[in-house]
Amino acid sequence: MIEGHDIICFSNDWDGDPLSKKHIMTRLARKNRVLWVNSIGNRRPTLSLHDLRRVWKKVGDSARGSRSGDSNITVYSPLVLPFYGSRAARWFSRRQLRSGLLRVCRRLKFRDVITWTFAPSSADVAGTLGEEIVLYHCVDEFSEFDGVDRDALLEMERRLLAKAHLVVVSSSHLYESKSRHNPETHLVTHGVDTEHFRRACDPGTVVPEEVARLPRPVVGFFGLIAHWVDLRLIRQLATARPEWSFVLIGKTAADCGGLNRLANVHLLGRRMYSDLPSYCKGFDAAIVPFEVNDLTLAANPLKLREYLAAGLPVVSSALPEAGKFSRLVRIARTHDEFLRHLDAVMAEGRTGPRLEVSRSMEPESWDEKVEALSGLVNEALRARTRLRPSYGDGGAKLSDLADGSSLYAH
Confidence label for 83 from pLDDT (cuts 50, 70 and 90): low
What 3 state SS string does 225-258 have?
ECCCECHHHHHHHHHHCCCCEEEEECCECCCCHH
> 186 with 207, same domain?
no
Q: Let me know if residue 407 belongs to a domain.
A: no
d(CA 404, CA 410): 16
Q: Let me know if residue 405 belongs to a domain.
A: no
pLDDT at residue 67 is higher than 90: no
Q: Which of 65-69, 247-251, 327-331, 363-367 has the lowest mean pLDDT?
A: 65-69
> 307 with 261, same domain?
yes
Q: Let me know if residue 1 belongs to a domain.
A: no
> 310 with 335, same domain?
yes
**Consecutive H or E run containing 341:** helix 335-348
d(CA 278, CA 263): 23
Residue 376 gets which letter from DSSP?
H
Q: What's residue 63's pLDDT?
A: 46
Confidence label for 406 from pLDDT (cuts 50, 70 and 90): very low
pLDDT at residue 62 is higher than 60: no
Q: What's residue 64's pLDDT?
A: 57
Confidence label for 71 from pLDDT (cuts 50, 70 and 90): confident
Q: Let me know if residue 409 belongs to a domain.
A: no
Mean pLDDT, range 150-154, rounded to an integer: 91
pLDDT at residue 148 is higher than 90: no
> 128 with 210, same domain?
no
Q: Let me know if residue 410 belongs to a domain.
A: no
Bridge-based pairing of strands 67-70 and 73-76 is antiparallel
**The residue type at 278:** S
> 95 with 160, same domain?
yes
Q: Which of 39-43, 110-114, 314-318, 343-347 has the lowest mean pLDDT?
A: 39-43
Mean pLDDT, range 164-178, rounded to an integer: 98
Bridge-based pairing of strands 329-332 and 67-70 is unpaired
* Contact of 293 with 317, CB cutoff 8 Å: no
d(CA 344, CA 237): 14
> 389 with 352, same domain?
no
> 322 with 379, same domain?
no
Confidence label for 387 from pLDDT (cuts 50, 70 and 90): confident
Q: Let me know if residue 11 belongs to a domain.
A: yes
Q: What's residue 385's pLDDT?
A: 83
Q: 261-281 as b/e, with b when 16 or more CB fall inside 10 Å? A: eeebbbeeeebeeeebbbbbb
> 357 with 369, same domain?
no
The DSSP result for 137-201, as a single string, is EE-S-GGGSTTB-HHHHHHHHHHHHHH-SEEEESSHHHHHHHTTT-SSEEE----B-HHHHGGGG
The backbone torsions φ and ψ at residue 311, rounded to the nearest 5 degrees and listed phi first, read: 85, 15
> 112 with 243, same domain?
no
Beta-carbon neighbour count of residue 163 at 10 Å? Answer: 16
Mean pLDDT, range 264-276, rounded to an integer: 97
Q: What's residue 409's pLDDT?
A: 34
d(CA 262, CA 72): 47
pLDDT at residue 10 is higher than 70: yes
- Domain holding 173: CATH number? 3.40.50.2000
What is the number of structural domains in the chain?
2
Domain interval for residue 202: 194-362
pLDDT at residue 129 is higher than 70: yes
Mean pLDDT, range 250-256, rounded to an integer: 92
Half-sphere exposure for 131 (CA within 13 Å, toward CB): 26
> 91 with 146, same domain?
yes
Q: What's residue 42's pLDDT?
A: 54
> 10 with 140, same domain?
yes
Q: What is the mean pLDDT of the chain?
A: 89
Q: What's residue 92's pLDDT?
A: 74
Q: Let me know if residue 316 belongs to a domain.
A: yes
> 105 with 247, same domain?
no
Mean pLDDT, range 359-370, rounded to an integer: 97
Would you call 83 exposed, middle or buried from its count of C-beta atoms within 10 A (0-12, 13-18, 19+)?
Answer: middle
Q: Let me know if residue 408 belongs to a domain.
A: no
